[in-house]
Structure 1
C-alpha cells in the first residue's frame, strides 16, 4: 500500500521523538556558557511540531533543582486544530514549554525551565526561549532548533499572482518568489514595487528559525497582514525585502485560478 510521506509524520506526532545531532550546542545566560555539549538531542514531546534541545545532565554548568513529576496526560483541549497535519491538536511554538505531554519531572535549571523526560533518561530538555543565546558550532540559533527533516525552497517564478481583499487588489506580480516549506502552505513573496496597497509599518516582530527576523505591515486596514525579512538568514537571501501576505485571510489567485484559504496557526 502506498503511503503519503506527510502521513507518516501524522502517525508519530503523538509519540515522543528524538534525534541526535553531532553539532556542538551551547546555551548562554548573559556572557556565561551554561550548556556545552556535542551530545545533544533534538527533542519533540508528543504533539509538538518544533523541537527543543535535550542535553546530557553532565553538560549543564549551573544548578539543577528537581521539581514535581508530571504524568504527561496533556489534554487534547490544548493546542491548535490543523486538519492538514493531524486529527489531534498540535502544539506549535505559541504553546508554552511548561505544557508537557509525556511523563517526566520538571526541573529548575539555574532559574530557567527544564524537563527530564522519563523515556530519555540522563537527558534534560530545556526551554529554548528562557536562555539568552544558543549556538550550533559558531552560528547563532534563533527561534528554536532547526529540524533536520524540515526543508524550505525559495524559488523565483513567472507565475501570475494576484492578492485581493473584498475585491480590492492589494498586490499583483508575475515575478514572485515562491516559498515551499515542509507541512506549510506555499507562500508568495512579491517585490515591493508590485504591491499596490500602502504598507504601514507595524511594531510586530517574529522570528523564524530558518528565515530570520520578520517585520510586519498593516495594509487596507488589516493589522499585521503582511511581513518582510529585511535581513534574512544566509540561505534565504533571495527573500530580502520581499513582501508576503497572509493568504489565510485574503483571496489569492495564481495564473487565474483562485486558491482556497489554508488553515494554519495564523488563520
Structure 2
C-alpha cells in the first residue's frame, strides 16, 4: 500500500469520483465491535453528492465480518463494483460496504454512514471525537458571527421577525442563515413539531411549523438547543429557511435561493 501525504490536491478518476488522502485516525463500530480502524483513510466525493464519505485500506477493515451481498443494490454509488453484507453475532446488515472500480481506489472499501439508517455502522470517530451524520469535509467552513445588522423575516407578507442582534451563520456552499433571538420572533404564529435533523458541524436541530394562512412549507423554523462548540453563538436562536420566506437585511430584500433543501420543503 502506498501512503500519500495529506495536503495534496484533490484527485479525480475517470468514473467522476474525487478523492483525497487523510491523516485522520478513523474508527467505525457496530455495537461493541470495531469494524474499521484506519490511520490511512481516503475521503471520496461522489458526483452530485454534496458530502464526502471515507474509503479504507482493506488491511484496516475487519474483512472477516464481510461477505458478498446477497441482494446488491442497482445504481447505488458511483461505479460501485462489489457490495458486502456485514455479519456480526447473527445480525446481518445488508450492503453495508462496497468497493469502487476506480484504479486509484483499488484495495479500499467504503462504508455507509448515516444517510441510510438501516445500513450503516452505529458509531464513527475521528481521533477521539464521535462524528455524526457524515464525515466532515476539510474544505468546508462554518462560522457563526454575532452581528448588528437589521434583519426582518416575512411569511406570506406578514412580518414575523425583526432584530438588530442576529447571529449570521456562514457555511460553505449554502446561503447565509440568520439566527434571531426568540424575543424578536413572533413564535406565537408557529407550533413545535417532532421533526429533527442532525449536522456534523452544528448538532441536532428542533423545528417549528407555520400556523397562519397561506401555503407555507412545514418546519420552516429551527433552532439548536445544544449546538456543537464551534457554533455555540447560535444556541437557542431561531433560523428560517431562506428558500421559503422573505428576508430583508439592512433594507435590502434578499432573493430566495435555490439549494439542495429546496425540493424537500413541502407544503
- State whether TM-score is above 0.5: yes
In structure 2, relative to structure 1, the CA distance for the partners of 1:257 and 1:246 (3 Å cut) is same
The partner residue of 2:192 within 193, 198, 201 is 201
Query: Are 1:152 and 2:142 an aligned pair?
Result: yes
The partner residue of 1:264 within 254, 259, 262 is 259
SS in 1 for 2:82: strand
Query: Are 1:216 and 2:207 an aligned pair?
Result: yes
Structure 2 unmatched ranges of 5 or more: 1-9, 115-119, 263-267
Q: Note the alpha carbon deviations across 1:17-66, whole angstroms, 9 max, x for none.
A: 11222111111111221111111111122222101111112222252223
Residues 29-38 or 207-216, more deviating: 29-38
Q: d(CA) in 2 for partners of 1:265 and 1:230?
A: 24
Q: Contact 1:163/1:170 (CA < 8 Å) preserved in 2?
A: yes
Tell me which structure has the larger Cα radius of gyration: 2
Q: Contact 2:80/2:98 (CA < 8 Å) preserved in 1?
A: no
Query: Are 1:117 and 2:108 an aligned pair?
Result: no
Identify which of structures 1 and 2 has the higher relative contact order when contacts are C-alpha pairs closer than 8 Å and 6+ apart: 1
Q: Note the alpha carbon deviations across 1:104-126, whole angstroms, 9 max, x for none.
A: 22222333421100111011110
SS in 1 for 2:197: strand
Matched ranges for 1:169-184 at <5 A: 169-184=159-174
Matched ranges for 1:19-58 at <5 A: 19-58=20-59
Shift of 1:69: 11
Shift of 1:266: 2.1
Q: Contact 1:46/1:102 (CA < 8 Å) preserved in 2?
A: no
Structure 1 unmatched ranges of 5 or more: 1-8, 75-98
Give the TM-score taking structure 1 as reference length.
0.80
Query: Are 1:65 and 2:67 an aligned pair?
Result: yes
SS in 1 for 2:125: strand
Shift of 1:240: 0.7
| Structure 2 equivalent of residue 237 of structure 1 | 232
Give the TM-score taking structure 2 as reference length.
0.80
